[in-house]
Amino acid sequence: MKALILVGGFGTRLRPLTLTMPKPLVEFANKPMILHQIEALAAVGVTDVVLAVNYRPEIMERVLKEYETELGVKIHFSLESEPLGTAGPLKLAEGILAKDDSPFFVLNSDITCDFPFKQLAEFHKSHGDEGTIVVTKVEEPSKYGVIVHKPNHPSRIDRFVEKPVEFVGNRINAGLYMLNVSVLDRIEKNRPTSIEQETFPAVVKDGLLHSFDLDGFWMDIGQPKDYLTGTCLYLSSLTKKNSKLLCSPSESFVHGGNVMVDKSAKIGKNCRIGPNVIIGKDVVVGDGVRLQRCTLLPGSKVKDHAWIKSAIVGWNSSVGKWARLENVTVLGDDVTIGDEIYVNGGSILPHKSIKVNVDVPAIIM
């Protein structure tokens, strides 16, 4: 089987993290974001994965090469010389996606969920039409594009309504699809094309597009606030599954569960950690530290008595004693927060040293 992941550009929404690390390699729950998807694809027998990118950092290729052999997957980079929208990259990768007649998966790279690729493939096969869109239910459909089914049909899509004013349904496009090769014929070469606004409506017109309900959580984690929310959802789902990836709640420092700690990390005495905390590789946490709803990326250090809530601490960054970070604070690579410093919603660019409080949300260049 084949799959295409829409990776796109510089990941500006996830800055300052993506200033020093390509977005697909930014760790989410101690694993590069894109690896969550590639692993899930490999698990259902996908052998060719196309990464549709419009820039191609060397480090990304190097890192992903290592996983090719480990997972038994061939990873292709498909580089757009100019932006081609969300459908154009499929056409560009036609050589791989259409190498046989079997349908292929397409996914946005910023999504976290319990990837239902096996069920999706079975469902797609069962209806026999051209395409299947994974949909998720949301509370406030008016912010999204909503899917409306044909009358008296559970899955065949009738139309899309962009940001509906009145309630027409609560299922939205989750950014995961399974498509037949024939869909590629609907896309023009070398023209920026939107899959949501051009390609799918054409398939819908022919009555050949179905929806597939996603079970469980779903989140677009393309920006820091949602990244943190996505982390909570992901950890909660691991807890539900009694995953071994989580710390045992009997561990003395765990407070409220949903805590994942890399085995190389060091945790000091009298800490209170949780809920919803991820501690990465080689992280050092001092004594009396309080952590909740945060991710400490690899190589970072949190000194004694610091207090962190709703924050992402970047690689190799250091948080001083009695410092306090909160309200979606994001530290880039190698940032130093001084002792006793308070940061409220700060986005701190890489290699900065912060010596005075950031009292109101601000970008520190």
Partner 1 sequence: MLQVPVREKSNGAGKATKAVILVRIQSHFSLASSSRGPHRPPELTPFRILQVGGPSRGTRFRPLSLDAPKPLFDVAGHPIVWHCLTAIAKVPSIQEVCMIGYYDETVFKDFIKEAASEFPNLPIKYLREYQALGTAGGLYHFRDAILKGRPERIFVLNSDVCCSFPLNDMAKLFDDRDAEAVILGTRVSEDAATNFGCIVSDQHSRRVLHYVEKPESHISNLINCGVYLFSVDAIFPSIKSAIKRRADRPRLVSYPSSDNLESSFIADNDDDERKNEIIRLEQDILSDLADSKQFFVHETKDFWRQIKTAGSAVPANALYLQKALQTGSKELAQPSANILPPVFIHPSAHVDPTAKLGPNVSIGPRATIGAGARVKESIVLEDAEIKHDACVLYSIVGWNSRVGAWARVEGTPTPVTSHTTSIVKNGVKVQSITILGKEVGVGDEVRVQNCVCLPYKELKRDVANEVIM
Count Cβ atoms within 10 A of the Cβ of residue 70 and give its class: 0-12 exposed, 13-18 middle, 19 or more buried: exposed
Residue 355 has φ and ψ, to the nearest 5°, of -120, -10
Residues that bind partner 1 (rule: CB under 8 A) add up to a total of 18
Q: How far apart are the first and last CA of the chain?
A: 45
Does 360 sit near partner 1 (CB under 8 A)?
Answer: yes
User: How many other CB atoms are found less than 10 A from the CB of residue 5?
Assistant: 24
| AA identity, residue 352 | K
Question: Which of 321, 338, 351, 364 touches partner 1 by CB under 8 A?
Answer: 321
With respect to partner 1, which residue has the nearer C-beta, 208 or 341?
Answer: 341
Q: Which residue lies nearer to partner 1 by CB, 215 or 287?
A: 287
CB of 6 to partner 1, least distance (A): 40
- DSSP assignment of 208-233, as one string? -EEEEEPPS-EEE-SSHHHHHHHHHH
Q: Tokens standing for 250? A: 């009997």
Stretch touching partner 1 by CB under 8 A, among 37-45, 75-83, 174-182, 302-310:
302-310
Least distance to partner 1 from the beta carbon of 211, Å? 43
Binding mask 269-298 for partner 1 (x = CB under 8 A): -x-x--------------xx-x--------
Regarding 363 and contact with partner 1 (CB under 8 A), the answer is no
The active-site residue, picked from 163, 189, 241, 269, is: 163
What are 313's two structure tokens? 């601490």
Task: Report the sign of the C-alpha dihedral through residues 238, 239, 242, 244, in that order.
Answer: positive
Give 122 or 340: the residue with its C-beta nearer to partner 1. Answer: 340
Out of 254, 307, 337, 354, the only residue in the binding site for partner 1 (CB under 8 A) is 307
281 in active site: no
Q: CA-CA distance, 272 to 263, in Å (whole number)?
A: 18
* Choices 62-70, 179-187, 230-238, 356-364 (CB under 8 A): range interacting with partner 1: 356-364
Binding mask 177-216 for partner 1 (x = CB under 8 A): ----------------------------------------
Euclidean distance between CA atoms 252 and 247, whole angstroms? 10
**Residue from the set 47, 137, 340, 363 that interacts with partner 1 by CB under 8 A:** 340
Question: How many beta carbons lie within 10 A of that of residue 72, not counting itself?
Answer: 11
> What's the rounded Cα separation, in Å, for the pair 212 and 147?
11
Query: Catalytic residue numbers?
Result: 163
Please give the residue ranges that form the binding site for partner 1 (CB under 8 A): 270, 272, 287-288, 290, 304-305, 307, 309, 321-322, 324, 326, 340, 342, 357, 359-360
